[in-house]
Amino acid sequence: MSIVKRLVDKLAGRVIAVGQPYFNARFDRLERIAQEESRFAMGVQIEEARRTNPVVDPQEAGYRVYSQFDQDGILQAIFKRLPSAPKFFVEFGVQDYRESSTRYLLEKDFWRGVIVDPAPDAQDFLQESRLQDTHDIEFRQSFVTAENINSLFANLPCDPGLMVIDVDGVDYYLWEALTVVKPWVVCIEYQSLFGPYLDLSIPYSPDFDRTKFHGSNLAYGASLSAMVRLGKAKGYRLVCGSRFHHDAFFVREDVAGDLPTGSPAQAFTDVQHKESRGKDFELTYLRRREDQRKAIADARVDDLLLKVQRPFRDYIDADGNLLDDRRWEQT
């Protein structure tokens, strides 16, 4: 082999080595765009088919385009029954916004809105995807707390058609504190480990972090029954829940019309995520719900009905089963 050929081969190898990460990233981006466009087209086709064959029960209408699970389809079904709802949303806890419950409304139905997250990733994605150039969406980089939620949203142009609350922590207390606007629809995450009947939440802290609060990474959020009771106090009806994730959908009573009224038992989904951690913060992948409950037995929780704070072990037996306490049925 000539010296020139060896030099050429060596140079070519270096060029490939240097350029490979760029081409890989470029290919990954194009592949992701193609997948998103395919899912978007699927969602549009489903909605076109439902013009002549609508789904009556929103809980059965779920499908995923950009949402984490079936939230996109459920929201489409709800807003078809709320034609006068403002096409304006607020979502907080969006991470980078690639996967969210409002992006499909933004792109398909040309809603406008505000998204909030303490990390800047969503702003980077809005610029990269050019969504901010083609749609009316504003990113606000901020923690949302019970103390700042009303000032944060005081200048919204109207009551949002949709507010999505998903912060993996003090969701209950954020909704409780919100008074400056009354969204038509609230989609909020609950903690399925607490079951459908107990009125429990983790204690409030403005800087809550689920892993710092409890090393298991599992002690966060509030129960579905607690969310239902809060919703009723604020003038909302539980319409349905996600079939695949711990999200509940509430609609304001004065605009809900003939949308169904669900119960905690009907809307509840026992989510089987494996995201537990051990003492050294390593993933332990606990699968059984009983084992997950035992892992957070020492975590303190607020009993929102009895107005006391207790360790979670007071609500489970030795095997990790929830005690059958259906107090919500009598109140």
pTM here is 0.87
Residues 6 or more apart from 112 whose CB is under 8 A from it? 87, 88, 89, 106, 135, 136, 137
pLDDT band of 34, cuts 50, 70, 90: confident
User: How much is the pLDDT for 23?
Assistant: 43
Q: What is the DSSP string of 295-306?
A: HTTTSEEEETTT
To 10 degrees, the CA torsion angle through 265, 267, 268, 271?
Answer: 160
**What pairing do the DSSP bridges indicate for beta strands 200-201 and 247-252?**
unpaired
Residue-wise pLDDT tens digits, 38-90:
888 888 888 888 888 888 899 999 999 999 999 999 999 999 999 999 999 99
Joined tokens for residue 93: 């806890």
- The percentage of residues in the chain with a pLDDT greater than 90, rounded to a whole number, is 74
Residue-wise pLDDT tens digits, 256-295:
999 999 999 999 999 777 788 887 778 888 889 999 999 9
| Whole-number Å distance between alpha carbons of 205 and 169 | 9
Residue-wise pLDDT tens digits, 88-124:
999 999 999 999 999 999 999 999 999 999 999 999 9
Residue-wise pLDDT tens digits, 190-218:
999 999 999 999 999 999 999 899 999 99
| Whole-number Å distance between alpha carbons of 204 and 167 | 13
Under 8 Å between Cβ of 89 and 113: yes
Residue-wise pLDDT tens digits, 309-324:
999 999 999 999 999 7
Joined tokens for residue 246: 């711990």
Joined tokens for residue 85: 């709802």
Give the dihedral sign, CA 304/306/310/311.
negative
